[in-house]
A and B are shown apart, each in its own frame.
Chain A
Amino acid sequence: MKKLIAAASIALMGLAGAAPAQDNYPERPVMMMVSYGAGGATDFQARIVTMTAGNEDALGMPIAIVNKPGAGGRVGWNWLATQVDADGYTLGAYNVPHFIAQSIEGGVEYSTDSFEPIANWGADPAVFVVGADSQFNSMEDVVNYAKENPGGLTFSGAGLYVGHHIAALQLEKAAGVKLAYIPNNAGGAGAMKAVIAGDVLGGVNNLSDAFRAEKAGNVKILGVFDNERSDFLPDVPTMKEQGYDIDNASVNFRGVMVPKGTPQPIIDKLAEIVPTMFENDRVKGKMEAGGSPMHVMTRDEVIEMWAAREETLKELLSGL
């Protein structure tokens, strides 16, 4: 209900006439679009990191989350790039590498040039998981199996052109083997179910979800697709440590952005305040409790990260 009221008040204020009042921005509640459904990891984290927006030392106005799910995020990002007023009252959550990979693949109306990053709140690396009773105990076992059965190692992931798919491509390239990546239609949860149920031999999944599944005794985690080990899983080696040249290109970065054309003073103000919101102790506590790894980055760092990602992804996806 809150969401509706917020959205309605935004609409009403919009009708009342838009005074060029960038100095006292924000004067009314701000909307943030999440391009995945309610209850997903991105939605869940977006709600936590924005919960202190109404505080006096933050924006002083609440941020209302609006979900526009569909087509792996394409619907929401298309909407943000083409349909909204770039007045600072509509923010969007981004998922890198998803939206960059989709824009390289084509068929969407956005690219990195359509948006201006504000700040990054989280980084969820991909990990390789196998069922708890699997014959595999290290990435070497997995790759050896794949060498004996070219194209026969089935493993699940959340879809095509998302972090999991990128990780799968990196693994194929680094280990020099052919694998059978099975994109799941029900996202990360569906991909995890396929691993636990034994529908597939292994899977790429989010570190946060895999961490929970491992604690529940359902899976083994064999490797992390990141440059460093994770604090949540200090015992699990990275891919590089296991001899595969894989960097952090598949890490799922989540953060806030605005559509291109938003006035510079508003971007500057958001870029200054939003990272401090993420550093709030209550926010950090809730994020840690939920097993969501945080990684706060400022606007400049994100601009750099986007550019670097775009280059890696273009190279990786050109072979498809």
Chain B
Amino acid sequence: MEFLLYFGDVFSPFNFMLLLIGTIGGLILGATPGLSPTMAVALLIPFTFKLDATQGLILLGAAYTSTVAGGAVSAILLKIPGAPANIATTLDGHTMAKNGQGARALQLSFISSAIGGVFGVMLLIFLTPVLAQWALAFGPSHLFWLAILGVTVIGSLDSSSVVKGLLSGCIGLWLATIGFDDVMGAQRFIFHSSVSGGINIIPALIGLFAIPQVITMFARGRQQHGAEVIKVEKSPIMESIREVFRRTRALGIGTMTGSFIGLIPGVGGQIAGLVAYDQARKTSREQKKFGTGHSEGVIAAESANNAMVGPSLVPLLTLSIPGSPTAAVLLGGLLIHGIFPGSDLFENYPDVAWTFINSMLIGQILMCIFGLYVAGLAARVAQVPNAVMAAVVLALAVFGSYSVQNSMGDVYIMAALGTGMYFLERFGFSAAPLVLGLILGPIAEANFVQGAMIANATSSMAGYFFTGALNLTLITIVLASIAYSVWMELRQRRYLSKEDTLEREEQPS
């Protein structure tokens, strides 16, 4: 309960102003395609040089919180996920926006973000020592199985068929091998200097999601002169709040998955949203509605990616190990003030540590209030004519890809992947499994290689990868997940008539 003592510090006028700046600035930066939370926090670091440690961290904590949620804005309205965490939000969120329910989608996403986020920070406050053990429990063999578990999700994720899902996952896995490999430094498939550093995930995300949509919009603009005007439905806030609490299953799954998967260093933050979405769908009674603008999809994905914020800092605050790129940037922000995070951080600098955590807590709520305020206005984006919209999205896509590392190479990668994806989508493949393959490939590979090296030096491969409670649990979940997908596929084939199948495949995705 110690944290309550430091709440006063957050509300001193100057600190509160910083909190507001961090939150609003974070929302704007987060909503800008290409500016991932990591980048946004890194951009703010120079401003903290002039502030004292507590103030600097209030700014950074608030910005981190709200950039993650801000990413949902571009994911929902433009179908450009700002970071891997927002991929799952596009699946139902953007469909809702296209149906004129953009305001509702945004409100749902901000409310569930805030609930997930507060829960995550609460875990950070009360369960840090336990969580630290959990974060350390995952060695190379466990991370390998966890990545394989992610691969099994690929087949069932947003695709007309499991086979097509797996195929696009394989394309993603192949793309992930381009560049110098992570462990040994071998060169693979480097056919052009743009790809010598491998395929950066942010430009790939922008390209795969935004470009096919841009091309479709341009194509459609030609065909129909009087392009249909989407009616943006008004959405009362109370209605959305009630909706979120009606969907407790999706909210619970999202929050728990986000908190516990998000904690695992290096892996969690990237896949928490997708895994939560997949789990929410598998356990939902209205499975068929997922992907067609269903509220549960948005709630699960967004509660998961904000629930991750608090726990993802556990390894940093207790063990001094940054578990994610954003945590690494925050570590820099701490070090610059001479504060070494570690198990004694809360004893040596309670004012800094607790004020930082409190600011994330208050930040979640402020973020939700501002988010709800702009949701209605922002949703009007859907009314912008196709031709204008396509041009704006294209410009943002180029800007976002370039700004990641000031490289034209990334823009070429974005454009090439996006154009390729347009054609793949016409054949019923979808971008989400492909991106998941791209994210999971390096994790699975690097951990397998490391695990194999350790196994060869100490025991046997079989002993290292197939024994131990955590390994066996993960393997069991993997098998269950595969069995479930196979069963669903068979059941679907039995009950679907030929006409249904044809109709499903003709629907543009």
Contacts and interface: CB of A to CB of B under 8 A. Distances in A.
Interface stretch (A153-161, A168-176, A238-246): A153-161
A196 B321 contact: yes
Nearest to B40: A1
A180 B315 contact: no
A66 B405 contact: yes
A217 interface: yes
Given A39-B325, A218-B319, A193 B136 contact: yes
Nearest to A1: B43
B340 interface: yes
B42 A66 contact: no
Contacts of B198: 70-71
A216 B320 contact: yes
B340 A74 contact: no
A290 B457 contact: no
A69 B179 CA distance: 12
B266 interface: yes
A38 B319 contact: no
A49 to B, nearest CB: 12
A52 to B, nearest CB: 11
Instruction: Classify chain A's interface size.
Output: 35 or more
Nearest to B454: A154
A44 B196 contact: no
Interface in A245-275: none
A185 B405 contact: no
Interface in A1-46: 1-4, 7, 37-40, 43-44
B56 to A, nearest CB: 13
A152 B460 CA distance: 12
B197 A193 contact: no
Nearest to A290: B335
B108 to A, nearest CB: 30
A107 interface: yes
B336 A289 contact: yes
Nearest to A156: B450
Contact of B457 (A152, A190, A286): A152
Contact of B342 (A37, A38, A161, A215): A215
A102 B200 CA distance: 22
Nearest to A82: B193
A48 B454 contact: no
A309 interface: no
Contact of A183 (B39, B138, B184): B184
A290 B336 contact: yes
Given A40-B328, A107-B187, A289-B338, A69 B319 contact: no
Given A190-B266, A196-B319, A68 B405 contact: yes
A253 B458 CA distance: 34
A4 B442 contact: no
Nearest to B187: A107
Contact of B336 (A2, A48, A196, A213): A48
B185 A159 contact: yes
- A-B CB proximity, top 10 nearest: A216-B342, A70-B197, A289-B338, A71-B180, A180-B457, A39-B328, A75-B197, A185-B446, A185-B182, A39-B329
Interface of A: 1-4, 7, 37-40, 43-44, 47-48, 51, 66-72, 74-75, 78, 82-83, 102, 105, 107, 151-154, 159-161, 180, 182-186, 189-190, 192-194, 196-200, 209, 212-213, 215-218, 286, 289-291
Interface of B: 38-39, 42-43, 45-46, 49, 136-140, 179-180, 182-185, 187, 193, 196-198, 200, 265-266, 315, 318-322, 325-326, 328-332, 335-338, 340-344, 403, 405-407, 442, 446-447, 450, 453-454, 456-458
